[in-house]
Amino acid sequence: MIEILRDYGVLLLVGQFPNGPLGGLALTLCLAITGLIASFPLAVLMGIARTSPIAAIRAPATAIVYVVRGLPVLMLIFWAYFIVPILVGHSVSGTTTLICALVIYELAFMGEVVRAGIEAIPAGQVEAARSLGMTYGQAMRKVVLPQALVHMTPSILSQLINLIKNTSLGYIISVNELTYAAYQVNAQLLTKPFEVYLILAVTYFVICWLLSLCVNRLEKKLNRSSTRNPTKEATA
């Protein structure tokens, strides 16, 4: 096992970088973080649309959520592989395809997180904001979203864990992330699949487990501050 790490550790960490394209664990993390950043603003819009009082906005947003939730991520990746080149007019790399598929996936799942966050804000707050003369948009921007987003941080962080796990599907379209790198290492060694995949599993485990500890911490902290001083977060 140590020999594998000595011979292939760098390949698993960064791929061919700096002499070639970035790969391995570094690419996995880049993909997940890019996916999170790219999908966040869209997810907020999605959450607002899902809770909108106007049915014509709510209905299509709900449809998108169900359509995406009903498909395996692999099918989303295949669809992206087919549709994205048509939309942009030229062929795109596997990395771009994967990010597009992950953003669509997160649009539905993180959108639901945002929706839950918005719905958790007591209706009285919106009513109070409206009766002070704010428009719906102002009430959303100044009263509801700032509080909802703070409450949502743990859930958004768990979406990052989800994204990290889902980047492993890039293997199917030969994106050189961690799982694909491990697959290649295994193909070169041939005799030690158990060790190679154990290293792979342990790597994912450590990263996702550490992140989930952060999620738990954050949740506890938020719960404590909201029970001790319920008005504090409104100003935060």
Contacts with another protein by CB under 8 A lie at 66-67, 69-75, 78-79, 82, 161, 164-166, 168-169, 171-172, 179, 183, 186, 192-194, 196-198, 200-201, 204-205, 208-209, 212
Measured from the CB atom, the residue of 7 and 82 that comes closer to another protein is 82
**Shortest distance, position 202 Cβ to another protein, whole Å:** 9
Measured from the CB atom, the residue of 150 and 189 that comes closer to another protein is 189
> Which residue(s) pair with 24 in the sheet?
177
Q: Count other C-beta atoms under 10 Å from residue 33's C-beta.
A: 13
Helices 94-120 and 73-88: crossing angle in degrees, nearest 10, is: 110
**Shortest distance, position 174 Cβ to another protein, whole Å:** 12
**Shortest distance, position 218 Cβ to another protein, whole Å:** 17
Measured from the CB atom, the residue of 59 and 75 that comes closer to another protein is 75
Instruction: Quote the Cα angle for 219-220-226, to 5°.
Output: 90
**Shortest distance, position 72 Cβ to another protein, whole Å:** 4
Measured from the CB atom, the residue of 46 and 196 that comes closer to another protein is 196
Helices 193-228 and 2-14: crossing angle in degrees, nearest 10, is: 60
Measured from the CB atom, the residue of 145 and 178 that comes closer to another protein is 178
Say if residue 126 is exposed, middle or buried (CB neighbours under 10 Å; 0-12, 13-18, 19+): middle
Sign of the alpha-carbon torsion through 92, 94, 99, 105: positive
Distance of alpha carbon 235 from alpha carbon 131, whole angstroms: 19
**Shortest distance, position 56 Cβ to another protein, whole Å:** 23
